[in-house]
Structure 1
Amino acid sequence: MANMTNLAEALGPWLKASRWYSGGPAAVESAIELAGEWEATVLWLVLASGSTHHNVPVVLRDAAGDADDAPRPVASLGGLRVFDAAEDRDGQRALLALACGTEAVHAVASGDVGDPEATLAKLPASVRTTPAEDAPAPPARVSSAKRLTSEQSNTSIVYTMEDGERLILKIFRVLVPGSNPDVHLQAVLSDTGTVPRARGAAHLTWDGQDADVLVAQEFLGGARDAWQVITEGLADSDGSLGAAAESIPRLGELTRRIHDTLAKRCPRVEAEATDRKRIRAAWSRRAADACALVLGLEPWKERIEEVFARTENVTWPPLQRIHGDYHLGQVLDAPDRGWVALDFEGEPLRPLAERNTPDLAMRDVAGMIRSFGYATGSAVAAGADEETMAAWEKAAVDAFLTGYGDIGAHERVLLDALILDKALYEVSYEAAQRPTWLPIPLAGAARILGADPHSLSASH
């Protein structure tokens, strides 16, 4: 077996080239063998780089035994080839077995895996499986599997089972202690039809801490995300919703069902003065950041704070669990099923503790409203008529809110503040990353402020 220090060094070039890896040189903190009926050695590695830990499951094979259909190895070490477990057939089987019990798998804590003198005890760890509570039975055995290549922060594998069922498994690449909302909230919603049905998850435990590392759920074949559905042909619209006149209200209905279910099944908390102060302070910080980057916003600072200050004079609803990063790209249109939401991780750059903190449900509503703004803004950038797209956007927002249902006057005040907050966050992002896109969030901010969007972008 390979020396773990040498293995970490051998993996270095591959790690550096991987979009999900954010560290420098790494060391193996823990290695757990996933033993089963497969031929190769499957290891769950936890690699440390500074204060960041990454989940890196790999497969070790004898170089002489490579099959013709084997993927390209990510490293070589002596007479061994090292493969990404997400692309190796035995690794794919082991990962799904670990998540939802498709096959027997025995996780062996690895003090004796590899060179006996290698130090692996810095993070003594074990893994455990949590099958989905509402799953009728473990899935059948794997027929085929394929790693998706479009993701950046995590890694997903799509499986076709022997009975025809299709599943998708996600590896959370960064190891963060605590409950991952993508696992917890989708399990809570699994029986409602609003999300793909959960099939299981795996957790890593060490030093009294616990982290979600894998989640498996049904794969919705043939689905398209709402961004594709909504923007298709949008540039040719006459300002009316057309076919979207039926689908957008249903999107609002989906959002309401998600919020109502989470409010019933997850703890809610009253919005105390400290909560309101914390949320209000975050709005003001983001506004200050945006005003510093786009000088055209400077004359509107007082008006921005007035919009936020109005929330101090209304009753706040209880804070609850929400999606947290809700937009058209987070919803699928599944054949014969309709809208289904996914990716409940929340804003990935926020600390996990914040993403697990109850929040205002109107934040999700604001996120979707801003997503309609991006849909029309991208159409204008592609040559569509600005006034026509403004009419379409207003109609889309009205239809979405109609589907969502009654929003009281106090919630409308909160919604305006959250839309403005989201737009100003987008202003800061676009100013730093995509300046040519700045008109889109500035238009959203201008609508709440009652300003001319062109005047806001006068200086940058």
Structure 2
Amino acid sequence: MKHASAGTGIDLPAELDDWAGHQRWFAGKAHSPVLRSIGQWSLPTDAADVRIASHLVIDTASRFSTLYQVPLTARRYPLESATGGLIGQSTDLDGTLWFVYDATHDPAYASALLTFMVTGGAVRGEARPERHVATEDAPSGVLASGDVVHALTLDGAPTDPGALAGMSVTASRVISGEQSNTSIIIDLTDRFGRPARPVIVKIFRVVANGQNPDVSVQSALARAGSRFVPEPIGAVSGEWSDPLSSERHSGHLAFAQEFLPGVEDAWRVALQAAAAGHDFEAQAHALGVATAAVHRDLALAFPTVDATADVVNQLCFSMRERYRLAAREVPELAAHRDAILAVFNRAQAATWPRLQRIHGDYHLGQVLDAPGRGWVLIDFEGEPLRPLAERTLPDIPLRDVAGMLRSFSYVGATILMRDPAVVEGRAVDWTMAARAAFLSGYLGSGGTLAGQEPLLAAFELDKAVYESVYETRNRPTWVQIPLRAVRRLLDQAASQHSTTR
């Protein structure tokens, strides 16, 4: 049988290449992948006739060195509850047939992974034998270790790490619709059989060298006592050899946190309110307050740096470069070249605040409306397509503010796209009121943007330029939404500039 990793000493099911090419987390949509495993680590399990191995694989058909994590379970007998996760079959040398599943659909994997985290498990896996020879100074294979970040009792109070070890998994299910990761909701009972608070475990599909900010940032905020983030529970860290250089790299492989049942994300809540013509100012104001509180905690939890001339120049160069590339794909953007570059130039000449850690990919879909608790911010990974090293750099908080303002604008534009009967003026009024309320909540009593208006204008315009490319590639009929925003932002920026000269 031809295996996807033939010749490496670590076999993968032959069907894996085709399966991976159809997954939303796979980045190489323009070609068919040819996957090769560079190493694996196995999870111990009490489930009979089940093998669990998590592979780190590269796509040899791509010129990029993206490293993916592919956890697999092999079962002697079909798992009826996970038919949607069936990848293929494999056969041992003795002829034993195994059914191979995407492990995220297998409750045995969910149980084994959570146990591995909360008990501080550690394991060394296999590596490609032709490339890696283990020595005392140069270990081979994938090293994986579990770590308790924060344990919870039934009522949410912190407890000792051993408390979670006695819990049992009663069910697990994969969240649909995710693009860059795979998340599993796990239902639990405690050692006495009582229902416990459910857990959500995020499997990082794209693995990179360095701490994943979703783990490090959210954990730091929880330690700071923030009530605006879910409680973290545990993580899995890994160490592996770089397939291009054989240097050892390390990073996060999975992350567990409390699951908040019965919640809706802020995008759905806002969209429903706008479609019904309901006021959203109080909620938007509260979201601004929550955003400001998280930014304050991040500034205390992580180092801040001065916005030196070199840093400002680099950030503004990045905006110009993104626009230059976008104008190649979206002709209407090219027609606004002088006006767009003028906005970026005014931002470069403005006074910049200190830089700090931020959310990095902030919009209404990254916020949950938790009953009795209010807004809860999630997904601190930053923009998934940016290199991890960039996503962990200090940045300007106004980038998050601009992202949320664009998200409110998208709500108004979306209801107009979906329902022609909606009066445009009503949608515009709703949008502008929500944006103003959010800014009011963010700035707080007496707060002002004085002197930083050019920065906010530039970051919001930069976001609209990005959206224009995204819509052109994915939803061409929607591209007028960000293009209208570009025109509006340019008009506003020109008006503000004329009144301050």
Is the TM value for this pair above 0.5? yes
**Cα separation, 2, equivalents of 1:41 and 1:374:** 46
C-alpha change, 1:68 and 1:304, in structure 2 (3 Å) is closer
What corresponds to 2:54 in structure 1? 44
Among 62, 68, 79, which residue is 1:54 paired with? 68
DSSP 3-state at the match of 1:7? coil
Letter in structure 1 aligned against 2:126: S
1:366 aligns with 2:402: yes
What corresponds to 1:312 in structure 2? 348
1:430 aligns with 2:443: no
Which runs of 5 or more structure 2 residues have no equivalent in the other structure?
92-96, 134-139, 152-157, 191-195, 242-247, 494-501
What corresponds to 2:251 in structure 1? 211
More divergent stretch after superposition (73-82 vs 7-16):
7-16
What corresponds to 1:442 in structure 2? 483
Q: CA deviation at 1:58?
A: 1.5
What corresponds to 2:232 in structure 1? 198
DSSP 3-state at the match of 1:165? strand
**Cα separation, 2, equivalents of 1:156 and 1:299:** 42
1:143 aligns with 2:170: yes
1:164-243 matches, cutoff 5 A = 164-190=196-222, 191-207=225-241, 208-237=248-277, 242=279
What corresponds to 1:420 in structure 2? 461
**Cα separation, 1, equivalents of 2:81 and 2:416:** 47
1:391 aligns with 2:429: yes
Q: Deviations over 1:194-235 (max 9, x none)?
A: 111100111111243211110000001010011110110423
1:3-402 matches, cutoff 5 A = 5-22=10-27, 24-39=33-48, 40-50=50-60, 51-63=65-77, 66=78, 69=81, 71=83, 73-78=86-91, 79-101=97-119, 105=121, 107-110=123-126, 121=132, 124-133=141-150, 135-138=158-161, 139=164, 140-163=167-190, 164-190=196-222, 191-207=225-241, 208-237=248-277, 242=279, 244-381=280-417, 382-383=419-420, 384-402=422-440
Q: CA deviation at 1:118?
A: 6.8
Q: Deviations over 1:31-72 (max 9, x none)?
A: 222224333221122222222322112122224xx5665646
Letter in structure 2 aligned against 1:73: L
**Cα separation, 2, equivalents of 1:329 and 1:68:** 33
Q: CA deviation at 1:294?
A: 4.4
C-alpha change, 1:27 and 1:193, in structure 2 (3 Å) is same
What corresponds to 2:449 in structure 1? 408
* Kept after mapping to 2: 8 A contact 1:45/1:56: yes
* Kept after mapping to 2: 8 A contact 1:10/1:77: no
TM-score with structure 2 setting the length: 0.81
Q: Deviations over 1:50-98 (max 9, x none)?
A: 22322112122224xx566564632211222222221222211111123
What corresponds to 1:456 in structure 2? none
DSSP 3-state at the match of 1:142? strand
Structure of greater relative contact order (alpha carbons < 8 Å, 6+ residues apart): 1
* Kept after mapping to 2: 8 A contact 1:366/1:419: yes
**Cα separation, 2, equivalents of 1:426 and 1:257:** 27
**Cα separation, 2, equivalents of 1:120 and 1:85:** 27
Q: Deviations over 1:253-288 (max 9, x none)?
A: 111011111011111111111111111111212333
**Cα separation, 1, equivalents of 2:176 and 2:475:** 24
* Kept after mapping to 2: 8 A contact 1:8/1:26: no
DSSP 3-state at the match of 2:105? coil
C-alpha change, 1:277 and 1:110, in structure 2 (3 Å) is same
* Kept after mapping to 2: 8 A contact 1:142/1:159: yes
C-alpha change, 1:290 and 1:17, in structure 2 (3 Å) is closer
**Cα separation, 1, equivalents of 2:18 and 2:349:** 56
Q: Deviations over 1:154-195 (max 9, x none)?
A: 111101110321110010112211111111111111231111
**Cα separation, 1, equivalents of 2:169 and 2:235:** 17
Q: CA deviation at 1:423?
A: 1.3
**Cα separation, 2, equivalents of 1:69 and 1:428:** 39
Which runs of 5 or more structure 1 residues have no equivalent in the other structure?
112-116, 453-460
* Kept after mapping to 2: 8 A contact 1:289/1:428: no
* Kept after mapping to 1: 8 A contact 2:90/2:99: yes
TM-score with structure 1 setting the length: 0.88
**Cα separation, 2, equivalents of 1:408 and 1:150:** 37
**Cα separation, 2, equivalents of 1:223 and 1:203:** 29
More divergent stretch after superposition (334-343 vs 25-34):
25-34
Equivalent residue pairs, number: 438
Letter in structure 2 aligned against 1:19: R
Q: CA deviation at 1:306?
A: 2.2
C-alpha change, 1:226 and 1:299, in structure 2 (3 Å) is same
Letter in structure 2 aligned against 1:416: A
DSSP 3-state at the match of 1:353? helix
**Cα separation, 1, equivalents of 2:249 and 2:107:** 31
* Kept after mapping to 1: 8 A contact 2:13/2:100: no
Letter in structure 2 aligned against 1:128: S
More divergent stretch after superposition (391-400 vs 357-366):
391-400
* Kept after mapping to 2: 8 A contact 1:372/1:396: yes
Letter in structure 2 aligned against 1:222: G
DSSP 3-state at the match of 2:86? coil
- Once superposed, what is the RMSD of the aligned Cα atoms? 2.5
**Cα separation, 1, equivalents of 2:100 and 2:405:** 46
DSSP 3-state at the match of 2:460? helix
**Cα separation, 2, equivalents of 1:349 and 1:333:** 26
